[in-house]
Amino acid sequence: MSTKVEHAAPGIFQKYFWSTDHKMIAMQYMFTGMVMALLGGFFAYVFRMQLGFPNQHVPGYGIVTPGKYNALVTMHGSIMIFWVAMPLLIAAFGNFLIPLMVGCDDMAFPRINRLSYQIFLLSALVLLSSFLVKGGPFGGAWTAYPPLSAVGAYNLTPIGATLWLLAVALEFVAFLLGGINFTVTTMNSRAPGMKMYDIPLVVWMIVLASIIFMASAGPLIAGAVMLLFDQTMSTGFYDPTRGGDPLLWQHLFWFFGHPEVYVVLLPALGIVAEVVAVFARKKIFGYKTVLYTTWAVGFLSFVVWAHHQFVAGIDPRMANIFSVTTLLISVPITEMVFLYIATLYGGSIHLDTPMLWALGFIAEFMIGGVTGIFLGSSGTDIYLHDTYFVIAHFHYTFVPIAIIALYAGLTFWYPKMFGRMLNETLGKIHFWGTVIPFNVIFIPLFITGTAGDQRRVYSYAQFAEQSRPALQHLRTTSTIALLFMLSFQLVFLFNFFWSLRHGKRAGANPWRSATLEWTVPSPPPHGNFAELPTVYRGPYEYGLPGGMDDFLPQNVPD
Amino acid sequence: MLERYSTAASTYAHWIDYQFLLIAVLVGFWLIVAEAVMVWLVFKFRAKDGRPTQYITGEETHLKRWITIPHVLVILCDIVIIVPAIMVWYNIKQVLPPPDETVRVIGQQWAWSFQQPGPDGVLDTADDIRTVEELHVKVNTTYHFELMSRDVVHSFAIPAFRLKQDALPGRVITGWFRPNRVGTYDIQCTQMCGVGHAMMAGRIIVETQQDHAAWLIRNSNPAMTGQQSTPASTTDALATMAEMRR
């Protein structure tokens, strides 16, 4: 395994673009994800401006026409899920953390790992290239329901639609390769002594997320191939006039699409678990129960997909089954959140920036969770389906996942990644400047949704009930809050890049954490461990009785 | 609760509104309790010099019950929510009360068009009234709608009725509503259907029996009597309209 061949200093290309080192690949995923996040955020800014201040010139963009609006919301959704949440939460953290936390020198398949990032980069480039083609990028929503997505005459973006589909398919290939690597590495390359229940939760969660992804992506890839054929070869898989069925795509898409929610949720929950344990100086309350609930969530996530389709024209009797499974999934998730909250009991809570983000995640995610009940219960979904209530609900899950938990992870592991501390004051400014506007963006949207605002509409001028001034005030409020939230991200970017050179030196273990990645220097050298560690205990031995130091690292013998 | 934000104008609107209220009360309670407990714990267990951390694994029975008891209560609440939710669903979507009238609703890029029986009361006869973007119905009358689409997936939504149903090409989906309040209400398309999605607006005009009868007479075309119905002409009119919008 670790026959370390020390190369002469690699060239810049070798080092930054052709590396098989898991930490470098993590950085590649991270910076690509951050660039895509800026783009996705910019799109949100443009279409929120159109909604908040209709038909006015948007600074930095121009007039938003209906076609451009559709493309912007489609790209915002696709990018934030596939090119931000997944690369940052799963690939960046998975790559960086798994070998360090299970105590090995690199991924099980380093070259597959490199290939995974390269295909991911290609997928991002294919998506971006659709901005340059005739007709512009795809505008048929990230769910891409045919026949709209299948027929150029309907969507008016025939090339963009195909490029979108190819980009998504390539992204899937990248994450299948990544998922194999995460799973195999965790199962086979753990340090001696690390039993299944000694694996840190974040690693477990990333592995389970990868397994869920790999198990759910197949049907969608099959669906995507059929859609590609419909688009380019005039087949009729989704064309009812030729024996096809548009509902088929919806089933294939959501069979993937709902587990995908948990694919990004689980790594976020894992990150939060690590942060809460370290900053409360507490063992996770019921580590095994957390794992069991995760498995339950993973399993149930495969049998809830049709709750996206209650009113889609499926057999109405089916809605009853899916309504029950959907409410059932609230049981393990609630349990997990309770366990996280219970972990705080009896601890010594330090409110450093990573902990603020972690607590912010729990507080905000609960709102996302409970509002899901309104949508999962079939009766109320008839009214709320495809309204802004849905948008507000899933942003209350996805923003805590892909923004808040991400920042919890970034601020927590930044010292390990770069060897320097982030500035605490700027971190706290950034936290409050993100979390407060976030609520001011989406609480008004719960109300407009309850008032009947439908989604994916660039203007409500045609709808008398939605044109009420009170609703427009709410939309404008939401847009202004978004401007605040986006501008506070500059504080983070400044902090991030400034601290790379000027931050306080971190040392190996600034947070006094018990897991293996903190036993190596920051940043970890090539090959990670000077001597591969042996593990003696679980990952959360904090506040031990007996008055020694308040924590025991996993690799220290008794 | 919902009525504060959106008028209720059909018989089943209140069922959905009560269901919404029920969920809001139950999940609101749990949300507030959970958030309060969390904030309280954060303040109570802030790090202090000299106070050691308690070593708790979460396997202890006397502590586990603090998870188990709320957990069981949450399951009970789930049941309290799911039973009426399914009943509401069942009564709106699964059973169709016998109709007094039947209308046909057709979605296409980017307009709703409607076909309803003329004075003879029978659909698909020459005196059918075809309208675009406007559907005239009688108050306190049970309607069946036959929903179809000419091109892509649309969704037929009337917020004031709490009605929503996707229109799929290749299928006819039958549903029902019973307006109980006179007035004009919005019809939306709530499924992304292309660049004209935001233009796909309609109005449903709920009239008294007399007003509706008068409207029927005004709009039934005497020239059509004895002729076959001609869907093509409507299509052309719609196509022109859609073209103009582009």
End-to-end Cα spacing for chain B: 39
Residues of A within 8 A of B52 (CB-CB) are: 348, 543, 547, 550
ipTM confidence score: 0.91
Query: DSSP assignment, residue A422?
Result: P
Residues of A within 8 A of B149 (CB-CB) are: none
State which residue of chain B sits closest to A345, comparing Cα positions.
Answer: B41
How confident is the model at residue A548, as a pLDDT? 60
How confident is the model at residue B246, as a pLDDT? 42
How far away is chain A from the Cα of B145, in angstroms, using its nearest Cα?
14
Residue A397 is encoded by which pair of tokens?
A: 């899950």
Length of chain A: 558
Q: Is residue B3 part of a domain?
A: no
Contact B23 A374 (CB under 8 A): yes
CATH of the domain at B149: 2.60.40.420
Residues of A within 8 A of B203 (CB-CB) are: 464
List all residues 6 or more positions away from B222 whose beta carbon is below 8 Å from its beta carbon: none
What's the domain range around B224?
101-245
**Does one domain contain both B183 and B215?**
yes
CA pair distance A221, B125, nearest whole angstrom? 47
Residues 27-86 of B with CB under 8 A from A: 27-28, 30-31, 34-35, 37-39, 41-42, 45-48, 51-59, 63-64, 66-67, 70-71, 74-75, 78, 81-82, 84-86
Residues of A within 8 A of B152 (CB-CB) are: 145-148, 151, 154
Question: A83 exposed, middle or buried (CB, 10 Å; 0-12, 13-18, 19+)?
Answer: buried
**Does one domain contain both B12 and B38?**
yes
How confident is the model at residue B221, as a pLDDT? 63
Contact B188 A377 (CB under 8 A): no
How far away is chain B from the Cα of A376, in angstroms, using its nearest Cα?
9
**Does one domain contain both B90 and B117?**
no
CA pair distance A195, A100, nearest whole angstrom? 16
Residues of A within 8 A of B81 (CB-CB) are: 327, 373, 377
Contact B58 A339 (CB under 8 A): yes
- Top CATH class, A23-519: mainly alpha
Length of chain B: 246
How confident is the model at residue B231, as a pLDDT? 46
**Does one domain contain both B37 and B137?**
no
- Which among B55, B162, B106, B87 has a CA at the least distance from the CA of A277? B55
Q: How far is CA A229 from CA A206, A232, A239, A388, B233, in A?
A: 33, 5, 12, 33, 34
- Which among A242, A97, A145 has a CA at the least distance from the CA of B197? A145
Q: Who among B37, B45, B194 is closest to A349 (CB)?
A: B45
**Does one domain contain both B124 and B179?**
yes
How confident is the model at residue B67, as a pLDDT? 87
Q: Is residue B23 part of a domain?
A: yes
**Does one domain contain both B115 and B83?**
no
State which residue of chain B sits closest to A344, comparing Cα positions.
Answer: B41
Strands B163-167 and B134-138 come out as unpaired
Q: For chain A, say whether B238 makes contact (Cβ under 8 Å).
A: no
**Does one domain contain both B118 and B169?**
yes
How confident is the model at residue A338, as a pLDDT? 94
Q: Is residue B2 part of a domain?
A: no
Summarize pLDDT for B193-229 with one digit per residue, the tens: 999 999 999 999 999 999 999 998 888 765 544 444 4
**């309204």: which residue's tokens?**
A387
Residues 207-236 of B with CB under 8 A from A: none
How confident is the model at residue A12, as a pLDDT? 81
How confident is the model at residue A9, as a pLDDT? 67
Contact A240 B199 (CB under 8 A): no
pLDDT in tens, chain A (558 residues): 444 555 556 788 888 888 899 999 999 999 999 999 999 999 999 999 999 999 999 999 999 999 999 999 999 999 999 999 999 999 999 999 999 999 999 999 999 999 999 999 999 999 999 999 999 999 999 999 999 999 999 999 999 999 999 999 999 999 999 999 999 999 999 999 999 999 999 999 999 999 999 999 999 999 999 999 999 999 999 999 998 999 999 999 999 999 999 999 999 999 999 999 999 999 999 999 999 999 999 999 999 999 999 999 999 999 999 999 999 999 999 999 999 999 999 999 999 999 999 999 999 999 999 999 999 999 999 999 999 999 999 999 999 999 999 999 999 999 999 999 999 999 999 999 999 999 999 999 999 999 999 999 999 999 999 999 999 999 999 999 999 999 999 999 999 999 999 999 999 999 999 999 999 999 999 899 999 999 999 999 998 876 566 889 999 987
**Does one domain contain both B89 and B118?**
no
State which residue of chain B sits closest to A388, comparing Cα positions.
Answer: B190
On the question of pLDDT at B242 being above 60, the answer is no
Instruction: Please answer whether residues A524 and A23 qualify as being in contact, where contact means their C-beta atoms are separated by less than 8 angstroms.
Output: yes
Domain boundaries, chain A: 23-519
**Does one domain contain both B194 and B170?**
yes
Contact A550 B53 (CB under 8 A): yes
**Does one domain contain both B145 and B80?**
no
**Does one domain contain both B184 and B72?**
no
Q: For chain A, say whether B168 makes contact (Cβ under 8 Å).
A: yes
Query: DSSP assignment, residue A423?
Result: P
Q: Is residue B69 part of a domain?
A: yes
Contact A145 B153 (CB under 8 A): yes
**Does one domain contain both B34 and B80?**
yes
